[in-house]
Structure 1
Amino acid sequence: MTWGADDFRDAFVGIVQRSGRWRDLDPDALLGRWNRFVVDCENGYPYDMEDHFDDLTSRDSIERALNDPELQDFSDMVVFRTRVEILDARLRPLLIPDVFPKIEERAWWARGLVRYARRKLVSELWDILGIEITEIE
């Protein structure tokens, strides 16, 4: 998608970059990364535990952008927020909620854990954290 004004994209990139993110800085790239994660979860997350938790950082950055006061004045923020809500609605039913209760409740995507995955993640979660999820082929 091409955003309505370069001002939104530039402000967005600046905010996300200042949060420490070094890749997938613009709205489309960040949404694309979050979408890939959701699709991976829908199909049984195929990567390892490190990748899983790394992929969650895209949603952390999205949340920062969603809550940044500077971005709220842009009409493009409505479109961005809607796209995030659509992806989030697809992901929520795929998660076992509150697996990591020490994480703040508002970070529901990090508190939960995908219900099923491929062998690598299933094995690592069990071996390292003692958490059992369903393995799919």
Structure 2
Amino acid sequence: MGDSGSGFDRGFAQAFVDKGWRTEASPGEVSERWQRFAADCLAGYPWDLEDYLNDLTMRTLVSEVLPQLTGSAADAFRAGIERTDLDVRKVLDRDSFPSFPSDQWWLRSSPSYAARSFCAEFESAYGVHVRAQSRFDDDVAELSGLVAGGLTPAEACLRLRASNHYVAATDSLFLRAAREALGLDRKASRALWSWLTGRTTDTDLRAALDQA
């Protein structure tokens, strides 16, 4: 698979599907997703175990496709993945599952720290303790503290969203944090999502979250 540009992209996407990925994925999409995974790991992984395993599966497929790739576009993709690997390995640094081959270090390793809910899920599934440390948990505590300090749920969301907090940069992560901190029901969660994605206004958010 030595084509460059769009030919490389098409070949890569087909190879990924052939290896078992559910949908076609371009090299750029795969590289970006692995970078997001690295950033989340460095911050203290905040998602569910299923999400974590999906990203590890993706990295495994990358390792299976990489030997087929040649040419400058392939070299650039490979270099980007390897740079991101360095960040992932800063957190996935415990050799917890030695039955996996050493070159699949992402499967052999467990995180040294992560968000509390992930830690509990990981230990329940594998019996491996992970230290609870995450910027996500810190932001959940911050949001809870804003409400405890007298702000309404909507005003607390508005303030946190306007900050440089970790969860403020990602709509789905902000929603997850708000659900955990504020105990939002399904209706309130839908209203918050509409606001996060720009479909409703601050006034609409206040009406939806603060009506009680």
TM normalised by structure 2 equals 0.59
Q: In structure 1, what is the equivalent of residue 96 of structure 2? A: 99
How far off is 1:103 after superposition? 1.0
The structure with the largest helix share of the pair is 2
Whether contact under 8 Å (2:42, 2:90) holds in the other structure is no
Percent of aligned pairs sharing the same letter: 30
Runs of 4 or more, structure 1, over 4 Å off, are: none
1:103 alignment partner AA: F
Question: Which letter does structure 1 place at the counterpart of 2:34?
Answer: W
Shift of 1:118: 0.5
Cα distance between partner residues in 1 of 2:37 and 2:6: 27
Is the 1:24–1:33 Cα contact (8 Å) retained in structure 2? no
For the residue of structure 1 that corresponds to 2:103, the secondary structure is coil
CA deviation after TM superposition for structure 1 residue 123, in Å: 0.7
Amino acid at match of 2:62: I
Q: Which runs of 5+ in 2 are unaligned?
A: 138-212
CA RMSD, aligned part only? 1.6
Bigger radius of gyration among the two: 2
Residue matched to 1:15: 15
Q: Distance in 2 between matches of 1:87 and 1:23?
A: 23
Q: State how 1:25-44 maps to structure 2 within 5 Å.
A: 25-44=25-44
- The structural deviation recorded for 1:24 is 5.7
**Consecutive unaligned residues in structure 1, runs of 5 or more:** none
Aligned length: 132
Query: Is 1:119 aligned to 2:77, yes or no?
Result: no
Instruction: Using CA pairs under 8 Å that are at least 6 residues apart, name the structure with larger relative contact order, 1 or 2.
Output: 1
